[in-house]
Every structure is written in structure tokens, then in C-alpha cells.
Structure 1
Amino acid sequence: MMQEAQHQLKAFAAEHIPDEIVHHQHISEGKPWATILDHATRSGADLIILPSHKRSRLDKAMLGSVASKVVENSPINVLVIKPQGHLSE
């Protein structure tokens, strides 16, 4: 499963991220917000960029959101961006 995820991530990056933009890809298992913070801290990142997602108030109250938990707990600057469209599968 991890190999398939890595393959899909590489394909997405090749299609959507210009070559001149330096970026790194990493796949982990665990709580999304915690693994994002752990990897960003260990890798020495100076900025975390995350998309926002439309969620109902009930979803936010019961589940929280990954972006808000990262923002609340991060010692690193976090930029949350609004997606400009939906990706087709």
C-alpha cells in the first residue's frame, strides 16, 4: 500500500509541480497532524503548506481538522491555502 501511495504521489507531483520548485515528498502512517509536525520538525522545515477543506461544523466539532491541529501545535510557520478546484480521480 505504501508503494502505491508513493507512486501516486510522484505522478501527482510530476504533473502539478513545476521542475523549478524545490519540493520533497514523504509518506508516513499515523495521525495526519502529528506525522506532519514530526516530519517537518525532524527535516528542519521552515514552512508547512496545507490545503484547507470545506467541512461541516459537526465534522469540525467531532473530528477537528488536520490543518487546524497543525496550526495550533506547530512550532513552525504554517500556510493554509484554499484549494482552487477539485482533482479528478
Structure 2
Amino acid sequence: MHLITTQLVGPASTPIDPQLLAYVIRSHAEPADRVEHLRVHVEPGRIGLAVFLLADNEADAEQATRRLCHRALENTPLLAQWHLLAS
């Protein structure tokens, strides 16, 4: 199992419930992502994600996390003004 952390950045004025956001992001996971667990930490203008995946290696886990984040960002109106922080 691999733990990948990443961040989304966006408007500081948008209040977001971390539990709701974890549910929403998790709903965009596909079986091939092999997501086992997702934790969300919200601060003004920043969302921290910790994604636990059953991947063969860290590079695959990082790619799956990026795909998951991009799907969530593209398909969730709540995240319309947010983007994935470049790693």
C-alpha cells in the first residue's frame, strides 16, 4: 500500500466540509485507481489530500492520485475554481 499526499489550491473564501469533500472525491475513484482510503484536510485556500492506494509501485500510485484529482476537479461544481498543486 502506498500513501500519496497532494494539495488542491483555490479561493480562500470558499468554505468546504472535509467529510463531504472526501465523499465527493472518493465517488470519482475508479476500480483501477485501487483507492483504499482517503483523508482530507481543509484550510482557507488549500485542501490537503492523503490517498492510500494498493498500487504496484509509488509511480503508479502517484499517477492514480493525479487521475482521481483531475476527475474530481473536472466533474465537481464545488471545485470549479480549484486546481491541483504542481508537484
Q: TM-score, normalised by structure 1?
A: 0.31
Structure with higher strand content: 2
- The structure having more radius of gyration, on CA atoms, is 1
Query: Which has a greater percent of helix?
Result: 1
- Tell me the TM-score normalised to structure 2 length: 0.31
